[in-house]
Amino acid sequence: MKCNIKYIGKSRQGITKYYCTVHKSFAYDKFGNKLEECLWHNKEIFDNRLNIKQNLIKSITIRYDNILENVVPKIIINDSEFNGVLEYDNSILTYKDFGGIMLSKLNNIPLEIVKCNHCGYYHSDNGKFAYTPHRTHLCLYCGRLFRVKEKNVGSELAMIYDIPKISLNNNMLKIDDYCCVEYDMLKGTLLVNNKSINKVLFKEKELDIVNFLNDILENEF
């Protein structure tokens, strides 16, 4: 699918901003020049779409094979790997949105229905925004900022699924250079190297699993 790049206004510093509405990504350089292609790197996933209202979804799992090396998870739907995006109504959801849900749930953040007042599409928060309630949101559909009354965190998936809390066992695991993280969204389970834990020993430091994952995924928005 080709980019659809639009001018969306200027930054506070006066730089012209462009946004690709197909890949939900910016498309300008630091001087404000329009790029030929937007900054989303694995664009092919947008060609493979699964409608989650028309298909029976029994389980949704994301798996980071080694989160220390690669922060792009695999999506597993009903036990088979799915390399694409999920859609329903006007929403298009990528692995980043699933990572966002995992972070919100780990941090016990209530997920709310948030709507952009420019384009009217719903909003999901990922990376550090998934665990930091905020008042000014960046709409990933139109690329513009919008404000809400109270600080919150948005999720489109929480509008259609009842997503449980993540329950963790009181256990610590030593992590060296391999860390597989598997999150079953509809069951609320999180496994680290196949174990349910709440702490890791990483580089000789004892860390809460929540802070450990927050830091690794903070820029995945």
Q: Is 103 in the site for Zn ion (CB under 5 A)?
A: no
Q: Is 23 in the site for Zn ion (CB under 5 A)?
A: yes
Sorted by sequence, the CB contacts under 8 Å of residue 50 that are 6+ apart come out as 77, 82, 84, 85, 86, 87
Cβ proximity to Zn ion, 61 vs 104, nearer residue: 104
Sorted by sequence, the CB contacts under 8 Å of residue 180 that are 6+ apart come out as 63, 64, 65, 66, 67, 191, 192, 193, 194
**Helix, strand, coil share of the chain (percent; to 5):** 15, 35, 50
Dihedral sign (CA 102, 107, 111, 117): negative
Q: Is 3 in the site for Zn ion (CB under 5 A)?
A: yes
Q: What gap in Å lies between CA 188 and CA 186, rounded to an integer?
A: 6
Q: Which pair of structure tokens corresponds to residue 162?
A: 């009842």
User: Of the listed pieces 1-9, 87-95, 103-111, 173-181, which binds Zn ion according to CB under 5 A?
Assistant: 1-9
Strand, coil or helix: 184: strand
Cβ proximity to Zn ion, 142 vs 166, nearer residue: 142
Sorted by sequence, the CB contacts under 8 Å of residue 191 that are 6+ apart come out as 180, 181, 182, 183
Cβ proximity to Zn ion, 119 vs 207, nearer residue: 119
Cβ proximity to Zn ion, 146 vs 202, nearer residue: 146
Among 18, 19, 20, 103, binds Zn ion (CB under 5 A): 20
User: Of the listed pieces 13-21, 90-98, 178-186, 189-197, which binds Zn ion according to CB under 5 A?
Assistant: 13-21
Cβ proximity to Zn ion, 46 vs 184, nearer residue: 46
Q: Residue 135's beta-bridge partner residues?
A: none
DSSP of 93-109: E-HHHHHHHHHHHHTTP
Q: Is 75 in the site for Zn ion (CB under 5 A)?
A: no
Among 19, 24, 38, 209, binds Zn ion (CB under 5 A): 38
Residues numbered 104 to 143 that lie near Zn ion (CB under 5 A) are 116, 118-119, 125, 129, 137, 139, 141-142
Residues numbered 79 to 98 that lie near Zn ion (CB under 5 A) are none
- # chain residues binding Zn ion, by CB under 5 A: 14
Binding site for Zn ion (CB under 5 A): 3, 20, 22-23, 38, 116, 118-119, 125, 129, 137, 139, 141-142
